[in-house]
Amino acid sequence: MNAPVKAPEASAKEALVLFMPSGKRGRFPVGTPVLDAARTLGVYVESVCGGRGICGRCQVEVQEGQFAKHGITSSNEHISEFGPKEQRYAEKRDLKEGRRLSCSATILGDLVVDVPHDVQVNAQVVRKDADTRIIERNPAVHMCYVEVEEPDMHKPLGDLDRLKAALEKEWGVRNLEVDAHILPNVQKILRKGEWGVTAAIYQDEETSRPTMIGLWPGLKNEAYGIACDIGSTTIAMHLSSLLSVRTIASAGTSNPQIRFGEDLMSRVSYVMMNPDGREGMTQAVREAINGLIDKVCAEGGVAREDILDAVFVGNPIMHHLFLGIDPTELGGAPFALAVSGAVHLKATDIGLAMNAGTRVYMLPCIAGHVGADAAAATLAEGPHRQDEMMLLVDVGTNAEIVLGNRHRTVAASSPTGPAFEGAEISGGQRAAPGAIERVRIDPVTLEPRFRVIGTEQWSDEAGFAEAVQASGITGICGSAIIEVIAEMYLSGIISEDGVVDGALAAKSPRVRATGRTFSYLLHEGSPTIIITQNDVRAIQLAKAALYAGVKLLMDKLGIDHVDQIRFAGAFGSFIDPKYAMVLGLIPDCDLDKVLAVGNAAGTGARMALLNRNYRREIEDTVTRIEKIETALEPKFQQHFVYAMAMPNKIDPFPKLSLAVTLPPRKNVSEDGIAGDATPRRRSREDRAARRNRE
């Protein structure tokens, strides 16, 4: 791919040009504008003004030095001096040191040319986004400035027809379609721009015709897009420039559908029970999204009308409700999606107010329970782009699980329920100031120490009481639930089967009888926070469901281990991979290959927004992902039973064992009486050794 495009026998009048970061290179006659060379090689350099040197979008930078590997000595001597167009631009618009306009600068000798990924032209506030991933730019919308012939009685072609002719001549746009809303304004805009106008040309798929979706007088040197992940709990949106790759603003809001039902199935039930339930929820989510658009526009100083493209992802039920589709079919077997493929719409089709021509793209859904959000996360993390076997999990009330590599990818969902989010847990709460977020238990004394959101100190450190005064200690959030139960297991308070060992009540006042079972006192106060046998059971059920789903996928691929694990979503960002593995939430894996990747679905949506190749990539990938319906797999039940144990009844965790000493097997019956202590992987001595290490 990186071989020079032209024959290697270079004449004296040709030069070798290498573009970075793409690595594409070729030989070009001396005098060729750098932009032309880039286009010839398929290097994506933006240009709105069509080489007039006024938009400043085509900036490049010459890298100076010897590039022995490529046989190139690159120097600013090998590019033409500032021409009049660049002079004029630099005077007016402040061209950064070292930057050149590739439409004006011509090749004089061998060059290594850097195409910066974020050419900043307008003094736009740019958000330092958590996700600093560089996305190569190839959006579905292009801004094309043209100068149109004035009307001539002898050639009575209409104004729009001459505009089309100019777009074909200058930009190679053939068979252009035109949005209806533009027709009444064409003449006004052409005259206001004195026959110079910028057209927004939308073309997503190769098989579609390009469409003029917007038209502005003069040079319109900005265009924006939004990428939005519609979660059942939270809606997150990014506003990006389609001309640089910059994220201009980000915002989130809670999904107002929560008032119709906390989790997905209760929302489906609401639709089934209420004649106008679907419409109410569709309106609610669209209003929230319109509100978010306001928010990102205000933050970014961008007009809504300048948003021309939008990408949405969400789980199947969010996806359907957003599109106005009744999700009832998703509530029961065979869980039929109304549409699984990617969806193209106009924003006005679904009541979103941006530009009259704004387009909407929704990523495909993988299956009835594995949505466009999972597809977007897959796109972001790219298991299908690598050789290593990646497990990608997005934990929510439904865990979406994707497992695979470039050869084969499988996906499933597993009904984990809301325990991981703190629901169904006696002291559980959402992650918020006052919530316990980290827990350690001394394996000898069984005394806990913990940290609370909003406070730096641990509970056994000086100044903790003062620090925590403001928020109080209000409950225990998802990440800490994982940790406290894992620590209870590691310290022997619960057996591998999850039974609280009542015998320890004699040793520690923190282990106490609660009715017929025992519980562990984490914090005495107001409220008092205890971990009950039921809490342990709830987490066991949730983690067993997730693990069993993962195992089914591993069975499908015939593998006994995974190389990488990625946690997508908010939950994954706060839990400690080690404790997740001790609990047996995820299979054994090198701990440093377990990563939290944040809102991967949002990142995938942003990728699809900024580069349409990613749309084709995920559409193609989704058709090749094999879907496993966990409910239909006879082995699910067995995997689930084994997975109730910590970390697992039968699966070894050799890599975890390198980092953590797992306790020996300890059988305790439900009433808290320990039976035979069957030594498992480590002896009691090991356990003491571990205590000493800590």
Q: Distance between CA 458 and CA 579 in Å, rounded?
A: 18
Instruction: Name the minimum Å distance from CB 632 to a second copy.
Output: 6
Name 434's Cβ contacts closer than 8 Å, sequence gap at least 6.
452, 453, 454, 468, 471, 472, 473, 474, 475
Q: Contact between 689 and a second copy (CB under 8 A)?
A: no
Answer yes or no: are the C-beta atoms of 472 and 433 closer than 8 Å.
no
Answer yes or no: are the C-beta atoms of 488 and 520 closer than 8 Å.
yes
Q: Contact between 192 and a second copy (CB under 8 A)?
A: no
Q: Specify the residue, 156 or 515, whose C-beta has the smaller distance to a second copy.
A: 156
Q: Contact between 310 and a second copy (CB under 8 A)?
A: no
Structure tokens at 635: 């082995």
Instruction: Name the minimum Å distance from CB 336 to a second copy.
Output: 4
With CB under 8 A as the contact rule, the residue among 334, 558, 634, 654 that binds a second copy is 334
With CB under 8 A as the contact rule, the residue among 2, 208, 445, 637 that binds a second copy is 208
Regarding beta strands 409-414 and 399-404, do their DSSP bridges make them parallel or antiparallel, or are they unpaired? antiparallel
Q: Contact between 366 and a second copy (CB under 8 A)?
A: yes
Per-residue x/- marks for a second copy, 152-181, CB under 8 A?
xxxxxxxxxx--x----------x-x--xx
Instruction: Name the minimum Å distance from CB 601 to a second copy.
Output: 19
Answer yes or no: are the C-beta atoms of 205 and 183 closer than 8 Å.
no
Instruction: Name the minimum Å distance from CB 326 to a second copy.
Output: 7
Q: What residues form DSSP beta bridges with 392?
A: 402, 566
With CB under 8 A as the contact rule, the residue among 346, 438, 440, 523 that binds a second copy is 346
Answer yes or no: are the C-beta atoms of 308 and 302 closer than 8 Å.
no
Instruction: Name the minimum Å distance from CB 372 to a second copy.
Output: 11
8-state DSSP, 424: T
User: Rounded to the nearest 10 degrees, what angle do helices 600-610 and 612-624 cross at?
Assistant: 120
With CB under 8 A as the contact rule, the residue among 93, 96, 133, 209 that binds a second copy is 209
Q: Specify the residue, 229 or 633, whose C-beta has the smaller distance to a second copy.
A: 633
Q: Distance between CA 393 and CA 402 in Å, rounded?
A: 6
- Give strand ranges (E) for 21-128: 25-29, 59-63, 65-67, 72-74, 99-101, 111-114
Q: Contact between 620 and a second copy (CB under 8 A)?
A: no
Q: Contact between 526 and a second copy (CB under 8 A)?
A: no
With CB under 8 A as the contact rule, the residue among 125, 336, 470, 513 that binds a second copy is 336
Answer yes or no: are the C-beta atoms of 272 and 97 closer than 8 Å.
no
Instruction: Name the minimum Å distance from CB 353 to a second copy.
Output: 16
Q: State which H helix or E strand residue 582 sits in.
A: helix 577-583
Answer yes or no: are the C-beta atoms of 224 and 216 closer than 8 Å.
no
Binding-site size for a second copy (CB under 8 A) equals 52
With CB under 8 A as the contact rule, the residue among 305, 326, 442, 670 that binds a second copy is 326
Judged on CB neighbours under 10 Å (0-12, 13-18, 19+), 686 is middle
Answer yes or no: are the C-beta atoms of 354 and 286 closer than 8 Å.
no
Answer yes or no: are the C-beta atoms of 407 and 471 closer than 8 Å.
no
Q: Contact between 199 and a second copy (CB under 8 A)?
A: no
Answer yes or no: are the C-beta atoms of 45 and 36 closer than 8 Å.
no
Q: Contact between 632 and a second copy (CB under 8 A)?
A: yes
| C-alpha 245: how far from chain center | 16
Q: Contact between 331 and a second copy (CB under 8 A)?
A: no
Instruction: Name the minimum Å distance from CB 385 to a second copy.
Output: 23
Instruction: Name the minimum Å distance from CB 73 to a second copy.
Output: 48
Instruction: Name the minimum Å distance from CB 633 to a second copy.
Output: 11
Stretch that binds a second copy, among 107-115, 204-212, 291-299, 644-652 (CB under 8 A): 204-212
Q: Contact between 407 and a second copy (CB under 8 A)?
A: no
With CB under 8 A as the contact rule, the residue among 338, 444, 595, 659 that binds a second copy is 338
Q: Distance between CA 175 and CA 322 in Å, rounded?
A: 32
Q: Specify the residue, 201 or 580, whose C-beta has the smaller distance to a second copy.
A: 201
State the residues that interact with a second copy by CB under 8 A: 151-161, 164, 175, 177, 180-181, 183-184, 186-188, 207-209, 323-326, 329, 333-341, 343-346, 349-350, 365-368, 627, 629, 631-632
